[in-house]
Structure 1
């Protein structure tokens, strides 16, 4: 798998779980197969968020739908602390997406399980209005997740410079600090996590993390940017992120 090419050791889920424990992470997100086979070795050391849906990278995102392959009841069985759901905002499949999301939300409420929504703008309509990480798209997705009952929403960092064909309200001079602050406000009482995104230069990535925390984001959620590098380098990066979260970075 291409995700592991930069650091083949990370292809072993135990490597990532151990790294999460060593780095003092608040939790780890796993699909059900890996949660069943590996998380039990670290139960009590690292909280589990069970991801309930997912799709491969093979088909186009034009009509993206992330189908369910696990249930809230299975998350309870595995001792998870929360469940995760990917919602593709803006695609023609939104009707089916919202319908299966409603089932997840109802079961999460019934079983007392917090619901974390990956709010990802996707589809031709989004690409024709600034793109999936434009300020408009990210802001809209955060609001949709909040209005549909997410307890926590995960978004990508917004790019306010991407203004091609976006609504008039978003075609104005605004810097990235003000943009991420607006996204936090759009999420209102839904806690907001900012993704590390694709592998990027450390200085740029850390600056986005600082801006997110200054804006009032609840926290950060990092994957490839951490484990797609050598072990000691990963821990150095995690240390920098922890200082930012503590307000000292």
Structure 2
């Protein structure tokens, strides 16, 4: 164990690094590993071009050949406004610096908008896998409806040389069924063209807030993941579970007492493991988001999330604001420290 990981975890080091999960045995899962493509993906209905692009994504950057991924996502210029996202470091108004950060940071891929990636595609699409985010929630329409709408077509992503496309569905929202149809059609087209697919499986409904915010409950996010894999997403992006019991709190939908009595516990690794189980027991990789930048604690928070994700059976981390809202050298270091968790063989599956 490297001292740096233990130090960054602080008082949570033993709690996270020594936890033994008694919910679902790890041997039930399709765990990440150097042979993940051959062992899991090649048995699916994905065509050879999709498999090639997934292999390219898993084979790039510092985590190449491990079965884990580190992705830099920068779509916040639309999702949160360019000012809110890039004012802390105006260099990232320039798309080229976003790509440079992903390359110098050793990422497997860079995820961004049609505009960002298209602006520098001929210079960089062959150097790092492009993941084009095809729909967004923009915050300029007033009042905002918190809806995801398409910003371009799958063919355009293919033409710029993208290895994958990504999309968001706000499960639980009034618009979710329209989004579901749009994304299903887009993902089918992407697979036909040979691109991999990544789905942001987020929850949005004011009724999901009761005594606490259940937008990050293991049971509700797990169901969102399950729906996402059913749409044939190759990788699922989800916020790290922070609580449980969403179904029972909102008194809607169906679940089983076994979910809470046997398949989960209140330990963060076990909550995340349920998210992985909902991704067809890991046949679609779960990557957790890094969350907003909170300043000096960013590195410790990112490493903690990476440890939880890895020990639960997840596939990696997708962290943006914590990396690009600071000088590039510091952003590269943060990305590398996240990757170090997945490279450290002493951080094992719980």
Fold match by TM threshold 0.5: yes
Structure 1 range deviating more: 174-183 or 93-102? 93-102
The structure whose Rg is larger is 2
Against the structure 1 CA distance between its residues 117 and 93, is the aligned structure 2 distance closer, same or farther, given a 3 Å change threshold?
Answer: same
2:123 corresponds to: 41
- The separation in 1 between residues aligned to 2:138 and 2:190, in whole angstroms, is 25
| Structure 1 residue 212 corresponds to structure 2 residue 309 | yes
- The separation in 1 between residues aligned to 2:279 and 2:260, in whole angstroms, is 21
1:198 corresponds to: 292
- The separation in 2 between residues aligned to 1:149 and 1:126, in whole angstroms, is 26
- The separation in 1 between residues aligned to 2:191 and 2:123, in whole angstroms, is 28
Q: Provide, for residues 136-166 of structure 1, a one-character-per-residue CA deviation record: whole Å limited to 9, x for no partner.
A: 3322211111122211110011102686825
- The separation in 2 between residues aligned to 1:70 and 1:243, in whole angstroms, is 35
Against the structure 1 CA distance between its residues 120 and 79, is the aligned structure 2 distance closer, same or farther, given a 3 Å change threshold?
Answer: same
Comparing both chains, which one has the higher relative contact order based on Cα–Cα distances under 8 Å and sequence gaps of 6 or more? 2
Q: Provide, for residues 24-76 of structure 1, a one-character-per-residue CA deviation record: whole Å limited to 9, x for no partner.
A: 11111121112221232223211101111112134699953311121111111
- The separation in 1 between residues aligned to 2:290 and 2:159, in whole angstroms, is 30
Contact 2:214 2:244 (8 Å CA) reproduced: no
Contact 1:53 1:86 (8 Å CA) reproduced: yes
2:234 corresponds to: 151
Question: What TM-score results when the alignment is normalised by the length of structure 2?
Answer: 0.65
Shift of 1:127: 3.0
| Structure 1 residue 184 corresponds to structure 2 residue 184 | no
Shift of 1:96: 1.0
1:78 corresponds to: 160
Against the structure 1 CA distance between its residues 9 and 63, is the aligned structure 2 distance closer, same or farther, given a 3 Å change threshold?
Answer: closer
Structure 2 stretches of 5 or more lacking a match?
1-82
For these two proteins, the number of residue pairs brought into alignment is: 249
Shift of 1:125: 3.2
Question: What TM-score results when the alignment is normalised by the length of structure 1?
Answer: 0.90
Against the structure 1 CA distance between its residues 161 and 184, is the aligned structure 2 distance closer, same or farther, given a 3 Å change threshold?
Answer: closer
1:141 corresponds to: 224
RMSD (Å), alpha carbons: 2.4
Structure 1 stretches of 5 or more lacking a match?
none
Against the structure 1 CA distance between its residues 31 and 228, is the aligned structure 2 distance closer, same or farther, given a 3 Å change threshold?
Answer: same
